[in-house]
Amino acid sequence: QKEVEQDPGPLSVPEGAIVSLNCTYSNSAFQYFMWYRQYSRKGPELLMYTYSSGNKEDGRFTAQVDKSSKYISLFIRDSQPSDSATYLCAMSARSGGGNKLTFGTGTQLKVEL
Amino acid sequence: DADVTQTPRNRITKTGKRIMLECSQTKGHDRMYWYRQDPGLGLQLIYYSFDVKDINKGEISDGYSVSRQAQAKFSLSLESAIPNQTALYFCATSDFSGELFFGEGSRLTVL
């Protein structure tokens, strides 16, 4: 079993829909949780960063962490065609070390007009 | 210009050939990384370096080597390429916060 599980999709939604992207994990030591967005033929870029449990909101994006269930989510409100990308979750037990990150496999999202 | 530049962007080679992928950065970060991305496997860390004199193996270093020529340059070598090294390779940098800044990737095909 992988340490981080992520549904690969593809997930196709109409413009304006609310999107929910999810990851589950097995390592209870994970405390730092990230979402990276990767456009086609590009490298991933950091979208959201949260520590421990709770919610964090940034514009149309909300990251949610439920450590008791070992489950994290990224919600996208009023989705736009420009949100079409692959979304990677990543997590670590310690801060500051890119070498300590465990990535999910990514969920491919397509937002259609 | 991109902050993290990878060359070449695409390369097709044959089994047994030596290949070098190069990475340079203008972000001024000390920490540099090489990742490999495969469908269904996500990003896997090959090697990382926290400064010019520091080189560390990641989770999948077998068959690869690296060289940190300067703070801004970190190259990945495949001494004798094999078909299962066909993948998308990413260089990344970070500062102490750990946020990764990725290059645009180098797509390698080994025939």
A49-95 per-position pLDDT tens digit: 998 888 999 999 999 999 999 999 999 999 999 999 999 999 998 87
pLDDT of residue A40: 93
Task: Flag if A42 and B104 touch (Cβ within 8 Å).
Answer: yes
Residue with tokens 């992928």: B21
Average pLDDT (A3-21) is: 94
SS3 call for B83: helix
State percent of chain A over pLDDT 70. Answer: 98
What pLDDT, on the 0 to 100 scale, is given for residue B95? 85
CA nearest B37 in A: which residue?
A105
For chain B, list residues whose CB is within 8 angstroms of any CB belonging to chain A.
Answer: 4, 31, 33, 40-45, 48, 56, 58, 90, 92, 94, 96-105
Least confident of A92-106, B4-18, B22-36: A92-106
- Interface probe for A, chosen from B99, B104, B106, B107 (most Cβ of A below 10 Å), is B99
Q: Which of A36-45, B31-40, B56-65, B94-103 has the lowest mean pLDDT?
A: B94-103
Quote the strand ranges of chain A, DSSP E: 4-6, 11-14, 19-25, 32-38, 45-51, 54-58, 61-66, 71-76, 85-92, 102-103, 107-112
In angstroms, the separation between the Cα of residue A4 and the nearest Cα of chain B is 10
pLDDT at A1 over 90: no
End-to-end distance of chain A based on CA atoms, in angstroms?
37
Burial profile B90-107: b = 16 or more Cβ within 10 angstroms, e = fewer: bbbbbeeebbbbbbebbe
Please tell me the distance from the alpha carbon of residue B32 to that of residue B92, in angstroms, as a whole number.
6
Residue of A nearest to B57 (CA): A99
Facing B103 at nearest CB: one of A4, A43, A96: A43
Measuring CA to CA, which residue among B72, B91, B86, B87 is closest to residue B27? B72
Q: Sorting pLDDT into bands at 50, 70 and 90, what band is B41?
A: confident
| pLDDT score of B1 more than 70 | no
| Cα-Cα end-to-end distance for chain B | 32
Longest dimension (CA), chain A: 41
Mean pLDDT of the B13-26 span:
97
Distance of residue B6 Cα from the nearest chain A Cα, in angstroms: 11
- pLDDT of amino acid A100: 81
**Interface contact flag, B90 A99, Cβ < 8 Å:** no
